[in-house]
Structure 1
C-alpha cells in the first residue's frame, strides 16, 4: 500500500460495532481511483457508517482503511482531505451563500485571489450567482442543496463524500441535481462515494454499486450487472420496482414445476441446474419480463387476475398462480380482475437461486448479457491528458 498518487480507498477486513452490535463486519471493498461508487441499501445497513469511517468521523474496531496508499486508521478527519455533503446540508444560518461556500477555504488560509476564483466558478456551475448574498433561510431546499454542493466543490479534495444529499428534494429537483453531480465529477474526477437508499439514484449516478445489508456486502458491480444478474435473493428483490417475483420451483425432466404447473426450459439451463446439484430452487422473474398470452400453449402458466394498479404510463397486474402472488407490468390490453390469463416466461430473463442459501446458481454462458454500459464507465480509469 505505497502508491500515494492514487485516489483509491481500500477497506481491509473492517469491523465497526457498538458494544456487541456490529454495524459492518469483515468488510472488504476497493474503491477505484476517480470512480463514482454508490453505497446502497436499506436503512440501518451500515452505508452511512461506512462513509463516516472514510471521512474519519467514526473509528473502526478492527481491520485497516487505506487512502492514497496510506493506512489512515488513526489519521484525524481534518487531515484526510475529504469534502463531504450531509443530508441536512449543515449551512451556517447567519452567513450568506458566498460566505458559506468559502468559509472552509478561509479557515485553511487559501490565497484571496484563489478563493474568489473558486467561488465564482462554483456559483456559475451550480446556478447560484444571483443568490450569493442571500442567507440560507431565504433559499429553497433545492438552492440550499446546491450551496452545500458548492461548498464541497470549492475544496478541490480528491475524495467527494455524499450522504443522501438529495433526499430532501422533490422528484424534479432530484433529477436536476443528479445531472449536476455527474457534471461535477466529470469535471474534477474525484473519487466519489455516494450513500443512498434510492435505487434510481444508484443506477443513474454510479459507475458501480456496492449493495449492503445488515453490515455485509451483498454484491458490487456495474448497475446493469446488478440488475440483470443479481448474485442472491436480496439483490434481486432490492433492485427494481416493482421488485422481482420470487417463487418456489422444483426441477425435473427438463421442466420447472410451480405447484402443479410446469414449463420446459432450454438444455443450457438444465445443465446449469445439474451443476448446481439441487432440485429445490427459487425462480426469479421481473414483472416486466412476464408476457401475457391470448391462449394456453405448452409452456404457458395459467393465472388469475387479482388486482390492477394504474401507474400512469403502465399498469401493474397482480396475479395468482398456484396460490402464489406475482406481479406483471403491461402498457395496454389490461386484463380484468377475476379473469383467467396465460403468461409466458422468457428463458433468457429468468433467474434461479438455491433455496437453501438464496445464492444464484449462475447463468448459462450462451445467454447474452444484455448490458447497457454507461458511457462514463469507459472513462473511469482514463487519465486526464
Structure 2
C-alpha cells in the first residue's frame, strides 16, 4: 500500500489550466473518490498518478518517492478504464493474464492468480470466451480482474461502471468494495455519479474547475458541506440555497424573517458575516398547511411523483425551494409553510460561499469536522 501526495500540483495545456494548485493526500489502503462534473479535472488527476500525463508545476509523491519523472511502467499501478480496453482477439484468460506474462512471472504463479480472480469475480467458465461473446457486466468484470490480478500497490478506476445499466451498476459497486477489502490496495476512483461516490468511497474529493472543493467522508460531505458548490452538487434534489441577511438575532429571507437560536447567533457573530446563504436540504423540510411559529411561507409551483414520495417545489420570495414529502395531496398555487430546523440548516458567507461553521450544540463528538479547501 502506498500513500499518494499531491503537493501544489498544477496541470495546464498551453494557457488552459486543468488542475490548479492541488494539495491532496490519498491514504494507504483507502478508497478515495474523485468526484465532479465533466471537465472538473478528476480524470486528469488520475492520469497524473498513472504517469500518463506530465505535471506542469508541483510535486507528486508515491510511497514517499517523488515520481514526477518516473515512467508509468515503474509506478506499480493498475488501471480500469471506462471503455474496458480489452483485446478483442484474446480470450478472457489471456486478457486477464497478459500483463503477468509481460512481467515474465512463473506459469504456476500466473495460473494461481488467474484461478483466484476468476472465482472472486464470478468469471469461472468464461475463460475461453472472447470479449464480443460477453455481456457488458462480464466485460467490466474482466477489466477489473485484469487490474486485480496484477496485485499492484495502487488501483486507478476511471468511470469503470458508466457503461452499465442501473441494476448491474449496483451489483458492480459491491464487487468493487469486496475486491478492495480482499486486497486492501489504495483505490483512486473517478466518477461523476454521487451515488457511487457515497457508497464506494472512504473519503470523497469533490472537484470543480480544477480545484478541490472539499475532502472528507461521505457522511460529512453530505451533512456538513464546506461551501455552496458542495451543497448544491451533493444530493438529489440538491440543497436549497436562499439569500438571507442577518440582524437582530434573526435571518431575513426576502420580506420574511426567522429567529435563530443562541448558538447560531454566536456562530454568525464569530464569523463576522451578515450577508449569508441559508442552506437546507429538501428532505429536511416539513411542509404544513397552517402557519406555525417562526416559519417561512411559500407557494406550491409544481409536484413531482417519485412513487413512494413527492417532490414539492415552492416559490419562496422568488427562490425555488424543493421539499420531499410523503403526502400526495399538494396542489399548484397552494400556500404552505415550513420552519427551518436549527439542527439541519447550513449558513454560507455570500462573498466567499464558504460554510461559516456550526454551533457546538450541533456537533457530535466532532464527527462533523471537515477540511475546507
Mark yes or no: TM-score above 0.5.
yes
Mapped partners of 1:272, 1:197: distance in 2: 33
Alpha-carbon contact 2:310-2:328 (below 8 Å) kept: no
Mapped partners of 1:323, 1:62: distance in 2: 45
Residue 210 (1) aligns with residue 205 (2): yes
Extract unaligned runs of 5+ from structure 2. 369-373
Out of 22, 26, 44, which is 1:27 matched to? 22
List aligned pairs for 1:164-313, cutoff 5 A.
164-313=159-308
Alpha-carbon contact 1:225-1:371 (below 8 Å) kept: no
Q: CA deviation at 1:162?
A: 0.2
User: Which residue of structure 2 lines up, in the alignment, with residue 81 of structure 1?
Assistant: 76
Out of 30, 42, 45, which is 1:50 matched to? 45
Q: Once the two structures are superposed, what CA deviation does each residue of 1:66-98 show, in whole Å capped at 9, x if it has no partner? A: 111111111101111101000000000000111
RMSD: 1.4
Alpha-carbon contact 2:309-2:328 (below 8 Å) kept: no
Pick closer, same or farther for the CA change 1:230–1:50 going to 2, 3 Å.
Answer: same
Out of 9, 32, 40, which is 2:35 matched to? 40
Pick closer, same or farther for the CA change 1:221–1:172 going to 2, 3 Å.
Answer: same
Q: CA deviation at 1:294?
A: 3.5
Alpha-carbon contact 1:315-1:334 (below 8 Å) kept: no
Mapped partners of 1:253, 1:333: distance in 2: 38
Alpha-carbon contact 2:137-2:168 (below 8 Å) kept: yes
Give the structure-2-normalised TM-score.
0.96
Pick closer, same or farther for the CA change 1:121–1:372 going to 2, 3 Å.
Answer: farther
Q: CA deviation at 1:337?
A: 1.3
Corresponding residue pairs, total: 368
Give the structure-1-normalised TM-score.
0.93
Q: CA deviation at 1:334?
A: 3.7
Pick closer, same or farther for the CA change 1:250–1:37 going to 2, 3 Å.
Answer: same
Secondary structure (helix, strand or coil) at the match of 2:300 reads strand
Secondary structure (helix, strand or coil) at the match of 1:49 reads helix
Out of 158, 163, 168, which is 1:163 matched to? 158
Mapped partners of 2:364, 2:194: distance in 1: 21
Structure 1 runs, 4 residues or longer, greater than 6 Å off = 370-373
User: Which residue of structure 2 lines up, in the alignment, with residue 63 of structure 1?
Assistant: 58
* Between 287-296 and 147-156, the greater mean CA deviation after superposition: 287-296
